Amino acid sequence: MNKYFQKEMETMPVEQIKTLQEEKLVKQVKYVYDNVEYYRNLMDKKGVKPEDIKGLDDLHKLPLLCKDDLREAYPTGLLATDMKNCVRIHSTSGTTGKRVVAFYTQHDVDLWDDCCARALVAAGATDEDVCHVAYGYGLFTGGFGLNGGSHKLGCLTLPMSSGNTDRQIQFMMDLKSTIICCTPSYAAYIAEVLKEKGYKPEDNHLKAGIFGAEAWTEEMRRDIEKNLGIKAYDIYGLTEISGPGVAFECEEQKGMHINEDHFVVEVIDPDTGEVLPEGSKGELVFTSLDKEAFPLLRYRTRDICVLSREKCSCGRTFIRMTKPMGRSDDMMIIKGVNVFPSQIEAVLLNENYAPNYQIVVDRVNNSDTLDVYVEMKESDFSDKVKDMTKKEKHLQSAIKTMLGISPKVHLVAPKSIQRSEGKAVRVIDKRKRLGINI
């Protein structure tokens, strides 16, 4: 069984990776300057010319690019090639403002497929596997991305898309799916429905799952692994930088290897934009190295992570990123305290609740309120008010210990919180209606 999809790249000595990145970077910067007026203007404003970028040490001289730039340049302002050379678009699921549209040439799709194939192989997949892709297909990159990787590897690909969970289960059982790719929240839901239908974890043929596109905790990983009887791997990516497969987990499950032959990564202080030394916690910034249609230089992801160059026992030499610790724009400030939904999720799973919850933030009489709605498991459900109140108080105090502020916890009936088939909506921040800048 092959341990790597592209061994030469994935295990290249670090010094060589850096040399490769330098060569590609110089070319990509010139290509962007020559072909993307929007970015050329930003560089001119900063007084940087392509000749000033001779290697990785010069990267910080380039202007940072953020989502607002992409919105401003919508739809084609950052396109670097003629539209006739493009074969596909994808788009973000943004609910506010203009969507972001990313373009791909065939070359871009090929590289992206490689990245996803690497992720599949790292999760133990071979061409003998049946790869069940239950990420959404369409403008979202999840379905097509993993589909492309699965094809390239030669798996039998089931392009299920998300939703219609009964049909997912029927195909999974009848066609003996061995690898499942979907959001972690959908995997948890599929596991729940399997259980309801009377299946035990050992009844399915799955051996691994490739889950990403949203924040999920180690506790949730253990839950999914137990309930589906699989090993659960993380995968990271974003539409602007291609889609899933920018980084992927190996059997170590200690952070995700970033495909450094295609992307350079930096970590910056989200407030000042200053580049931070390796090992610091900060915002991830990516620079594409060999894209044709939608190359982005120094794109701010808003994802907060730590990078590590520590040697990995899997043999891959690509730098690793931690699971994003929430997005800097996912972070809620409640009563002045920074709160990430993942902190609340970790408490709930530690306390043996299922990952079905919703967080509602509001402001009443000028004071922030935090309500956490948590679904009971069937087995824990009680119609005795006293029992429920005791459980709510216990959870309230566990969350207070984690966050430092006290939420109001509401235990709600099993199945009363809407399940997600794609990215779960965990937070409703009602303060937005007050025009508060949150």
Binding of residue 299 to ligand DLL (CB under 6 A):
no
The least CB distance from residue 12 to ligand DLL, in Å, is 24
Binding of residue 215 to ligand DLL (CB under 6 A):
yes
**Dist. CA 128–CA 178, nearest whole Å:** 9
Binding of residue 270 to ligand DLL (CB under 6 A):
no
* Cβ-based neighbours of 183, under 8 Å, separated by 6 or more: 135, 142, 162, 211, 212, 213, 214, 420, 421, 422, 423, 424
The least CB distance from residue 289 to ligand DLL, in Å, is 19
Q: What is the 8-class DSSP label of residue 85?
A: G
Neighbours of 203 (CB within 10 A): 12
Binding of residue 236 to ligand DLL (CB under 6 A):
yes
Q: Of these, 28, 178, 204, 239, which contacts ligand DLL (CB under 6 A)?
A: 239
Q: Of these, 142, 148, 282, 407, which contacts ligand DLL (CB under 6 A)?
A: 142
Binding of residue 244 to ligand DLL (CB under 6 A):
yes
Binding of residue 149 to ligand DLL (CB under 6 A):
no
| Residue with Cβ nearer ligand DLL (10 or 234) | 234
**Dist. CA 305–CA 267, nearest whole Å:** 8
Q: How many residues at the interface with ligand DLL, by CB under 6 A?
A: 22
Binding of residue 115 to ligand DLL (CB under 6 A):
no
Asked if 43 and 25 count as a contact pair (C-beta separation under 8 A), the reply is no
Binding of residue 237 to ligand DLL (CB under 6 A):
yes
**Dist. CA 9–CA 12, nearest whole Å:** 5
Residue with tokens 């948890």: 188
Binding of residue 213 to ligand DLL (CB under 6 A):
yes
Binding of residue 98 to ligand DLL (CB under 6 A):
no
| Residue with Cβ nearer ligand DLL (31 or 236) | 236
**What distances in angstroms separate CA 337 from CA 367, 369, 402, one per listed residue?**
13, 12, 11
- For the record, the structure tokens of 259 come out as 């495909």
Region binding ligand DLL by CB under 6 A among candidate stretches 206-214, 289-297, 391-399, 414-422:
206-214
Alpha helices by DSSP H, listed for 106-164, are 106-122, 141-153
| Residue with Cβ nearer ligand DLL (28 or 162) | 162
Q: Of these, 21, 105, 141, 150, which contacts ligand DLL (CB under 6 A)?
A: 141
| Residue with Cβ nearer ligand DLL (37 or 218) | 218
Which residues in the 309-348 window bind ligand DLL by CB under 6 A?
Answer: 323-324, 327
**96 phi, psi to nearest 5 deg:** -115, 150
Binding of residue 9 to ligand DLL (CB under 6 A):
no
What is the distance, to the nearest Å, from the Cα of residue 240 to the centroid of all Cα atoms in its chain?
12
Asked if the bond preceding 75 is cis, omega within 30° of 0, the reply is yes
CA dihedral 142, 145, 148, 151 (to 10 degrees): -50
Q: Of these, 209, 243, 255, 407, which contacts ligand DLL (CB under 6 A)?
A: 243
The least CB distance from residue 9 to ligand DLL, in Å, is 20
State the residues that interact with ligand DLL by CB under 6 A: 92-93, 135, 141-142, 212-215, 234-239, 243-244, 301, 303, 323-324, 327
